[in-house]
């Protein structure tokens, strides 16, 4: 159990270090509140709603206010470190911010789990179909609402 914890701690440290580096390369600053928001999202390994995030931050910074959290989230989304999930009105950390961009996000509508996928061929097909309908995609990521395996199993066992 200890090895898993230290591995996840080192992985978290590496992800935060990558975020710091990416911001520095872009001439941006990962302020303490931005860093804390990102750290919480990375630690949660799932999507988190803004007020839940605010409660988690208040454990560390009792005076944190909603505008502070929203500004931090806006910055992190803009820098590609966090995904804004409109399907469930929540946010999730990008688990490999320095890697390839993700064009598909699969979001569990029950538990908030998120899978980050990259499938440029599928995205091109989606763009073509959307264009045929007279539209153009407004985001570089497409969200798909789904049930993760755990929730699907729970739902099957409940019936």
10-residue averages of pLDDT along the chain (159 residues)? 50 92 94 93 91 90 89 94 91 83 88 91 92 89 91 81
The bridge status of strand 114-117 relative to strand 142-146 is unpaired
Same-domain status, 115 and 75: no
Separation CA 35–CA 20 (nearest Å):
8
Q: pLDDT at position 62, please? A: 86
Single residue among 72, 93, 114 that ends a domain in this structure: 93
Cα–Cα dist 40/48, whole Å: 9
pLDDT at 135 (0 to 100):
94
Q: In this structure, are 25 and 79 located in the same domain?
A: yes
Domain span at residue 28 reads 2-93
Beta bridge partners of 143: 105
My answer on whether 9 and 71 are in the same domain is yes
- Predicted local confidence at residue 159, as pLDDT: 65
- Model pTM? 0.82
pLDDT at 63: 86
117: region left, alpha or beta (phi > 0 left; psi from -120 to 50 alpha)? beta
Residue 36 lies in a domain: yes
Domain boundary among 64, 93, 122: 93
* DSSP line for 26-56: TT----HHHHHHHHHHHHHTS-B-HHHHHHH
Based on the domain organization, do 59 and 109 belong to the same domain?
Answer: no
Question: Residues 26, 65: one domain?
Answer: yes
Number of domains composing the chain: 2
Nearest residue to 73 (alpha-carbon basis) of 65, 81, 62, 64: 81
**End-to-end CA gap in the chain:** 35
Q: Does the residue 99 lie in any domain?
A: no
Mark whether 65 and 46 lie in a shared domain: yes
CATH number for the domain that contains residue 86? 1.10.10.10
Cβ burial, residue 59 (10 Å; 0-12/13-18/19+) = exposed
Q: Does residue 35 sit within a domain?
A: yes
């Amino acid at each position: 159990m200890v090895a898993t914890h230290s591995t996840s701690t080192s992985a978290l440290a590496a992800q935060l270090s990558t975020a710091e580096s990416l911001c520095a390369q872009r001439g941006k600053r990962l302020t303490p509140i931005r860093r804390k928001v990102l750290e919480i999202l990375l630690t949660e390994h799932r999507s988190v709603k803004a007020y839940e995030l605010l409660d988690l931050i208040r454990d560390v910074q009792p005076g944190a206010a909603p505008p502070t959290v929203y500004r931090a989230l806006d910055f992190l989304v803009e820098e590609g470190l966090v995904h804004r999930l409109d399907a469930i009105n929540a946010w999730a950390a990008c688990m490999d911010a320095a890697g390839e961009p993700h064009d598909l996000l699969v979001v569990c509508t029950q538990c908030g789990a998120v899978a980050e996928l990259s499938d440029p061929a599928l995205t091109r097909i989606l763009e073509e179909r959307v264009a045929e309908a007279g539209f153009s995609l407004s985001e570089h990521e497409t969200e798909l609402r789904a049930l993760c395996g755990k929730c699907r199993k729970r739902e099957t066992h409940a019936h």
